[in-house]
Structure 1
Amino acid sequence: MGGGRFLENKSKVIETTDANYESGQAGQTFIGKIKYALGPGILAILTWLGAGDLVTSAVAGADYGYGLMWILAMSLLLRFLIVNVMSRFQLANTKGLTILEGYGRIHPIFGYFLFIYALIMGHLFNSYMISGAGEIISTLLGINQPFIGSMIVVGLVFLLVGRNIYNTIEGVMKIFLALLTLAFVFLALSTSPDYGQIISGTIGFKIPADEGGYGALLVAVSIIGAVAGSISNFVHPYFLKEKGWTTPGHLKLQRNDLLFSIIVCIVINLAIWIVGAEILRPNGIRIESIDDLAQALQLTLGRTGWLIFYLGTFAILFASIVGKSTGYPRLVTDAFYVINKKRRDKYDGDYNKDPMSKWVMIFVLFMPIVWSIPGMPGFISLTIGVNALNIIGFPVIAIGLLIISNRKDLMGKYRNSWFENVCLVLATVLAIWSAYELAISYIL
């Protein structure tokens, strides 16, 4: 990404103002303006709303009602704050640095950490997504062979990524995803949820007693990892650059776009949570497999609901596998460029030219299939466990962000507000406490 940086001298940085933006867009059609204004936010929603959100929200609702709702509310707030600070750094820093290059300016150890962490988490994220997609293929085809289903999924992704036909397939996937989202929202509204309990759970600030197959602390930490602490939050600045939002003048546009995506995330996560609390929990259904999740729609919408669930969930998983298999090679390669500047210069900072990114893609896509071998943990367990592991890297990410976003030589007048700094400090403390409690409860 080094090849795309703008001029280092602060006085030469071009700051496009809102007035410039409005005048530049004056000649566009209304639809054109809408597309311009909502670009990266749509991509962010598709990137963030993966199996992690679906499983953690459903499990939390089914096992604990609304007792852990405050964790979701806090995590979504932290996601907005963290991604907004990351985006502001990339748009407004005076050296034209990417977010990963900013971390590298603190100390080389951040580059090494992010390189290793992104490589491991890319593998683990795809492990449960490939496992879940394989289970769905196995169910839909009636073959009762999830491992074969996983191999089919990996083969399809490998053959389709980068080809024109994938754009058509992606369009179909979005239709299935939209149907699943509408189904969950419809079910959530039709259950007449207890809004008093929702409010009480949102301001409860306590961990309930353990119920179901997963402890309350594990579920809580998994929610934090899936939403606030996910390394996938690093992907959003890439979307900004691809959209052409590269200057401080795009800050307001970026912030409104991000707010839109967070609101959509709130609606979808809340709908899934309500379905778990109002349909699965009263019927005594504990989510131990993907089939248990399907019962929420099947109980109320019959066979049609069952089919919508499996097709929509497959769309989420397949799109996420493609996203992780193409996005993480870029993230890992960029992190390596922070460590090895000679390699970055050799390929002009273009990961597409670097064979390393192709090897990373192969590793991230093909190696996770080992988790689908019979006898390995199932899809739900993998999802909860992997997202809980996100908490390990959260303190490093938060501390690094706190440092680079407050450096006067990099950010000038765009440094953090006191509120943002307080939230980042609290997020760091929360992550360290969560990791410690998790280790005490499940490891030590």
Structure 2
Amino acid sequence: MTNRSVDPSVAEPKWNLVGPGLVVAATGVGAADLIATTVAGSKYGYALLWAVVAGCIMKVILVEGAGRYSLATGKTIFEGWSSLGRWTHWYFGPYIVIWGFVYGAAAMAGTGLALYSLFPFLSVAAWGILSGLAGMLLVWSGRYDLFEKILTAMVVLMFVTMLLAAALTLPNLGEVLKGLVPMIPEGALINVLSVAGGVGGTITLAAYGYWLREKGWDTPRFMRVMRMDNGIAYLVTGLFVISTLIVGAELLHSAGIAIGKGDQGMVDLASVLGERYGTWMSKLFLIGFWAASMSSLVGVWNGVSLMFADFLGHVQGKPHDHPDRLAGGRYYKFYIFWLTVPPMVMMFLGQPVYLILAYGVLGSLFMPYMAITLLWILNTDRVPAEWRNRPLTNLMLLLCALAFIALALNELYTRIAGLF
């Protein structure tokens, strides 16, 4: 199921060397990240712009670590985790199962809301279910080349839409530059961590190595290409998320306008843009909102299904290249079904409290888990000496781990407090 590339140093134009990075970035930036950044802009203006940049740098480091491990060893990231002990199975197994069920419902609800706002002749639930089924059909075969083309088109659509919205607000360049100076407004620490931590994905960061394999980049000779791919992808992501903060700062902060939480906030923002610049801008922004939501859905339907297939095949002792552990195999297809069909029930019956709590607890631990395990794996003989961490990389990964641990503690406190 791979799309084998020729030697990157010889034949391909540079733009063709960008692919898995854009996929992981597009998958990771969903409506929740956009609204968190927009709300931060509406509350604090440009004061948290530096946190967006910091978030991109953190994700570049984490994704590069996952990619470097895969290229240097020829193994998957789950095989790396498994080498640390069976405790990784006991964490990752329940996490990916619960996460998939809850995320499937959330992803379909987000795309459904975007489409309902554009075409209200069907309900949010109906549009969401159709989106989930469309995602299932797009990735069912496991063809990476088709999947990458679809995600790239969605990235272009959401990127152009958000940049246009930011440009229309005529941002104050002096304030933008001031926002690059690190500072934390009073009471904004959690906002800082949320903005930095929310730029570009959680579990989908670990899917990067699988997409490298599907692309055909699976040996150390692709290391330089991988780093360029990752850097360009998060440069695009950074510009995109900075644009959302600009919209929040210029359009909402200056006018004192509040918007709703979650996906509804994106619809509210579209209405504000429509009132200010015309209905055409509202519709265009909703198309961008749909592209951001749908790209996350399609990316997860493919990437996390690859991770699940690898996990289940590995714990059953199946060889690294067994068909069940690869794209298009039966475990891969089972997880796509798990993401799509069972969560449809939640679209109509609501979300069970304890399942959502488990989802939040396990999910909040994933980014610290990834940062800490990469520190562990990439400093040992699990990786050839030339590809192990350098001191600066270790320092950055340690800072990532501390930031995500702080976010996890806050998330756990918030969720547990919500029960009482």
TM-score interval, smaller chain:
0.7 to 0.9
Does 2:371 align with 1:398?
Answer: yes
State the alpha-carbon separation in 2 of the partners of residues 164 and 87 from structure 1: 20
Does 2:301 align with 1:325?
Answer: yes
Q: SS at the partner of 1:337?
A: helix
Aligned-pair CA distance for 1:190: 4.0
Q: Partner letter of residue 362 of structure 1?
A: F
Aligned-pair CA distance for 1:111: 2.9
Q: Partner letter of residue 209 of structure 1?
A: G
Does 2:340 align with 1:362?
Answer: no
Structure 1 unpaired stretches of 5+: 5-19, 26-31, 211-215
Structure 2 unpaired stretches of 5+: none
Does 2:103 align with 1:125?
Answer: yes
Aligned-pair CA distance for 1:223: 3.2
Q: Partner letter of residue 282 of structure 2?
A: W
Equivalent residue pairs, number:
406
Alpha carbons 1:80, 1:262 under 8 Å: kept: yes
Q: Say which of 115, 123, 140 aligns to 2:93.
A: 115
TM-score (ref. length: structure 2):
0.83
Does 2:171 align with 1:193?
Answer: yes
State the alpha-carbon separation in 2 of the partners of residues 262 and 365 from structure 1: 28
State the alpha-carbon separation in 2 of the partners of residues 307 and 326 from structure 1: 28
Give the match for residue 250 of structure 1. Answer: 222
The 1:386/1:199 distance shift into structure 2, 3 A limit, reads: farther
State the alpha-carbon separation in 2 of the partners of residues 126 and 80 from structure 1: 26
State the alpha-carbon separation in 1 of the partners of residues 158 and 328 from structure 2: 38
Q: Partner letter of residue 361 of structure 1?
A: I
Question: Within 5 A, what are the aligned runs for 1:130-279?
Answer: 130-143=108-121, 145-162=123-140, 178-206=156-184, 208-209=186-187, 217=190, 219-227=191-199, 230-279=202-251
Give the match for residue 74 of structure 1. Answer: 54
State the alpha-carbon separation in 1 of the partners of residues 297 and 197 from structure 2: 18
Q: Say which of 41, 47, 69 aligns to 1:89.
A: 69
State the alpha-carbon separation in 2 of the partners of residues 99 and 173 from structure 1: 23
Worse-superposed segment, 189-198 or 155-164: 155-164
State the alpha-carbon separation in 2 of the partners of residues 104 and 164 from structure 1: 25
Alpha carbons 1:118, 1:332 under 8 Å: kept: yes
Q: Say which of 34, 38, 42 aligns to 1:62.
A: 42
What percentage of residue pairs aligned between the two structures are identical? 25
TM-score (ref. length: structure 1):
0.79
The 1:167/1:248 distance shift into structure 2, 3 A limit, reads: closer
Alpha carbons 1:222, 1:387 under 8 Å: kept: no
The 1:205/1:46 distance shift into structure 2, 3 A limit, reads: same
Aligned-pair CA distance for 1:151: 2.6
The 1:365/1:386 distance shift into structure 2, 3 A limit, reads: same
Aligned-pair CA distance for 1:159: 4.5
Larger Rg computed on CA atoms? 1
Alpha carbons 2:171, 2:250 under 8 Å: kept: yes
Aligned-pair CA distance for 1:239: 2.1
The 1:319/1:39 distance shift into structure 2, 3 A limit, reads: closer
Worse-superposed segment, 312-321 or 346-355: 346-355
The 1:153/1:190 distance shift into structure 2, 3 A limit, reads: closer
Worse-superposed segment, 409-418 or 385-394: 385-394
RMSD of aligned Cα (Å): 3.5
Q: Partner letter of residue 422 of structure 1?
A: L
Aligned-pair CA distance for 1:357: 2.7
The 1:197/1:41 distance shift into structure 2, 3 A limit, reads: same
State the alpha-carbon separation in 2 of the partners of residues 151 and 33 from structure 1: 39
The 1:352/1:42 distance shift into structure 2, 3 A limit, reads: closer
Q: Partner letter of residue 423 of structure 1?
A: M
State the alpha-carbon separation in 2 of the partners of residues 201 and 306 from structure 1: 27
Alpha carbons 1:223, 1:388 under 8 Å: kept: no
Worse-superposed segment, 124-133 or 268-277: 124-133
Give the match for residue 443 of structure 1. Answer: 416
Q: Say which of 257, 261, 264 aligns to 1:285.
A: 257
Aligned-pair CA distance for 1:224: 4.2
Alpha carbons 2:27, 2:297 under 8 Å: kept: no
State the alpha-carbon separation in 2 of the partners of residues 154 and 40 from structure 1: 22
State the Cα deviation string for residues 44-74 of structure 1 (Å, max 9, x = none).
3332333233222222212332233333222
The 1:392/1:229 distance shift into structure 2, 3 A limit, reads: farther
Worse-superposed segment, 171-180 or 51-60: 171-180
State the Cα deviation string for residues 201-230 of structure 1 (Å, max 9, x = none).
4433425437xxxxx72x444434433661
Give the match for residue 417 of structure 1. Answer: 390
Q: SS at the partner of 2:278?
A: helix
The 1:204/1:33 distance shift into structure 2, 3 A limit, reads: closer
Give the match for residue 14 of structure 1. Answer: none
Give the match for residue 8 of structure 1. Answer: none
Give the match for residue 401 of structure 2. Answer: 428
The 1:91/1:109 distance shift into structure 2, 3 A limit, reads: same
Aligned-pair CA distance for 1:301: 3.3
Alpha carbons 2:104, 2:343 under 8 Å: kept: yes
Worse-superposed segment, 418-427 or 52-61: 52-61
Worse-superposed segment, 33-42 or 395-404: 33-42
Alpha carbons 1:69, 1:202 under 8 Å: kept: yes
Q: SS at the partner of 2:83?
A: helix
Give the match for residue 28 of structure 1. Answer: none
State the alpha-carbon separation in 2 of the partners of residues 169 and 104 from structure 1: 28
Q: Partner letter of residue 373 of structure 1?
A: F
State the Cα deviation string for residues 337-381 of structure 1 (Å, max 9, x = none).
33221x44794554346433322221111233344337669xxxx
Does 2:26 align with 1:46?
Answer: yes
Alpha carbons 1:62, 1:280 under 8 Å: kept: yes
Worse-superposed segment, 232-241 or 165-174: 165-174
